[in-house]
Structure 1
Amino acid sequence: MKIRDRKKQNKQKRYYEASAVLFILFLILIVGANIITKDRTFSESENRMLATKPKFTIDRLLEGRFTSKFEDYVVDQFVGRDFFTDVKMKMDKLLGKKESNGVFLGDDGYLIENFAKPNEEAVSENLQAINNFATKYKDVKQYMLISPTAVSILKDKLPMDAPVIDQEAYLQSYKEKLSQSITFVDNYNTLKEHSKENIFYKTDHHWTSIGARYSYDELAKAMELKETPDNYYESILVSDDFFGALSSKSGYDVKEGDRVEVFIPSDKDAETVVVNYVEEQEKTATLYSSEALSQKDNYEVFLKGNHPLVKIRTNAANNKTLLIFKDSYANSFIPFLVKDFSNIIVVDPRYYYEDIDKLIEQEEVSEVLYLYNANTFFNDTSLSSVLNNE
């Protein structure tokens, strides 16, 4: 071997060794930074609550839920997350893309979250668990409302040739896999009929109170609830400068904020409630949080955001108890149910670890509602574990 070749090989070897050392030092630095950096509960840039460290038990580890939630925790609390996200968004804007971080820049100021292909394994597990749950509690009436999101309803607002998967086709295919004992509430046509109205926020992925109201009307028909008079509620504007999660997630420069309205019974004595945030050990006499209006995420005006377990006692004199498995879409929907049920038990499976069978027995649940938006339900990995009591 020539001397020149040996020198070249030695030089390459030293380069690879130095690169390996630098990479290891970088990993040590990142791991150390993540260890010493204090966890955050809220991301200002993404306008959402961040996953916190889950409580460890052997049972939770064996059932797999601890591992899943710990992965979410690591991703959310990764040091420099906001910086790397911001870099990606700026690169997308420089390239003139009409989509940034999974959010389309639509017409009329709409930011519309894209629909990703469902996690088929998670959906299959959830549907199987739901069907088994319906068989187990065959005397409990059960309903499902999985709402399409803006990307399905407001297609006319999307950029031309936006690569969007047919969300409604997936909804209908999963509907066919449900047990016949579960009533599927289809709100697609209703939302389409009212698509010219303000049924979705422009800067956030949630439906507005108006969108929730129209969807409630469909559920009320399925549940055969007493019809609500048109003048039963009055709409009250509580914010006109709400910049939602999609404005933060996308990085688009949004000039005008959303309006947030709540629907309050015209007769102030018509509804009284006691809202018990169980894990937080807090009780209030309102479904709304005025404190949220001074924070970035105004949507938390509804039930203070998401919680593992909330128990709502109303003055409805029918002794009926509704159990809701939900995501955040339910938060602005629940106020419309208050007049229909004496008790409403709200479980968010993403944060709930307790025995669901014991809860059903203790609360004497008479009806169950699965209330999600399609994006969350199609990728949720926690519902089946809660229903199976794993």
Structure 2
Amino acid sequence: MRKRKNNRKIKNKKRGYYQVLAIGFILFLILIIGLSIITKDKDYSETENRVLQQKPNFTIDRLLEGRFTPKFEDYVVDQFIGRDFFTNVKINVDKLIGKKESNGVFLGKDGYLIENFTEPNKEAVNESLQSIKNFSEKYKDVKQYMLISPTAVSVYKDKLPAMAPVVDQEVYIQGYKKHLPTSIKFVDNFEALNKDKDKGVFYKTDHHWTSLGAYNSYKILAKEMGLKPKADDYYNVELVSNDFYGALSSKSGYDVKEGDKVNVYIPAKDKENVVVNYVEEQQKTASLYSSEPLEKKDNYEVFLKGNHPLVKIKTDASNNKSLLIFKDSYANSFIPFLTKDFSKIIVVDPRYYYEDIDKLMEEEMIENVLYLYNANTFFNDTSLAPVLNNE
């Protein structure tokens, strides 16, 4: 009898314990959700050194077409209250157990932090491919080019930890190339990056290519476009920062002993006359570079002040050629090499652009289009197709 009573007491205590846990968990969720609702959304994460997803506009069409849900999920994850705290906890736990991978970033040889390449979002890839095909057919008289750059995980395979579980990025790049219409010329820059990789074509602490990587890739694009690439001695290479700790050092949490060097390429003899119009911000400047970011964490924003929905650049090139670039942030350090080749360069970042693209094509009398992305961004992008389709 006593044994039964004791067992009953134990069961009641366990039941009470689990009930308290359940109630505590529910109250915790209510608190978190409540704080998330009343807390103002953040635009930028200092810890991850990147722009955060903002609340997407809801429409029935976007929901039914599957374009609303992925962005809303990204929004919830990015704006989750205490995100930086929980991210730091995970990073520190990974460091304690000696992992060579943290938050999708490998701790490589020679101080390289290398972002992993995940298997592409097939739905997003197919949707963007079809939209690109349709856009190409709509503008048959416009010359179109595509440069999907490999990232450090492909070029610096020898720097990866032993047995690192990576997907072959080049397989997907070359596979995508085969599905493009012949009206779009694909620019393969792998060898251009690989030949100078010992000189540093990617930053060690950031996911972007360096100015050297961008310059080498520009020379390949120029040849494909029928342009005359600038000789190496055309530019003076100027050091603007030697302590750049990029997004991968923030994202991974790995201790980095030495920051990256950031260089800009300035024409040695020709004076560069440009007018850069940041349309949404209603700001104009006479330079492709900004010194302000050099005093902040993200030194890469020295190039075109980072990412913007729409930038219009007028140059002193007298050929009346126009170029529209659909891009991610890789283009920011690439565009300065194009200013002597085109009189007008229109830059659209589909992640933030919501205007009528056909109207822009007509108003700016676009003759050339360039898709310029890195593979990690491109193969998981869901923003390009709606822009091309004017949705």
TM-score range, shorter chain: over 0.9
* Runs of 5+ consecutive residues of structure 2 not aligned to the other structure: none
Deviation at 1:60, TM superposition (A): 6.1
> More displaced, 328-337 or 59-68?
59-68
Q: Aligned ranges for residues 46-195 of structure 1 at < 5 Å?
A: 46-54=48-56, 65-195=67-197
Q: Aligned ranges for residues 231-246 of structure 1 at < 5 Å?
A: 231-246=233-248
- Residues 126-163 of structure 1 show CA distances to partners (whole Å, capped at 9, x for unaligned) of 11111111011111000000000001001111112211
Q: 1:281 is matched with which residue? A: 282
TM-score (normalised: structure 2)? 0.94
> More displaced, 323-332 or 65-74?
65-74
Q: 2:31 is matched with which residue? A: 29
- Residues 281-304 of structure 1 show CA distances to partners (whole Å, capped at 9, x for unaligned) of 111111111101001000000001
Q: 2:339 is matched with which residue? A: 338
Alignment partners' CA distance in 2, 1:284 and 1:65: 35
Alignment partners' CA distance in 1, 2:45 and 2:299: 14
- Residues 293-333 of structure 1 show CA distances to partners (whole Å, capped at 9, x for unaligned) of 00100000000100111111111111111110000000000
- Residues 99-129 of structure 1 show CA distances to partners (whole Å, capped at 9, x for unaligned) of 1111111111111111111111111111111
Distance 1:200 1:381, change over 3 A: same
**SS at 2:130 equivalent:** helix
Counterpart code for 2:194: K
Q: Aligned ranges for residues 5-20 of structure 1 at < 5 Å?
A: 13-20=15-22
Q: 1:356 is matched with which residue? A: 357
TM-score (normalised: structure 1)? 0.94
Counterpart code for 2:25: F
Distance 1:63 1:339, change over 3 A: farther
Deviation at 1:90, TM superposition (A): 1.2
Alignment partners' CA distance in 2, 1:57 and 1:100: 36
Q: 1:41 is matched with which residue? A: 43
Alignment partners' CA distance in 2, 1:22 and 1:373: 45
Counterpart code for 2:335: I
Deviation at 1:231, TM superposition (A): 1.8
Alignment partners' CA distance in 2, 1:213 and 1:78: 39
- Name the count of aligned residue pairs: 388
Counterpart code for 2:153: V
- Residues 21-44 of structure 1 show CA distances to partners (whole Å, capped at 9, x for unaligned) of 222211110011112323322222
Q: 2:296 is matched with which residue? A: 295
Q: 2:209 is matched with which residue? A: 207
Deviation at 1:255, TM superposition (A): 0.9
> More displaced, 118-127 or 44-53?
44-53
> More displaced, 32-41 or 106-115?
32-41
Deviation at 1:96, TM superposition (A): 1.1
> More displaced, 41-50 or 243-252?
41-50
Alignment partners' CA distance in 2, 1:8 and 1:238: 69
**SS at 1:207 equivalent:** coil
Deviation at 1:49, TM superposition (A): 2.2
Alignment partners' CA distance in 1, 2:67 and 2:163: 39
Distance 1:134 1:242, change over 3 A: same
Alignment partners' CA distance in 2, 1:99 and 1:21: 36
Alignment partners' CA distance in 2, 1:41 and 1:153: 32
* Runs of 5+ consecutive residues of structure 1 not aligned to the other structure: none
Counterpart code for 2:295: S
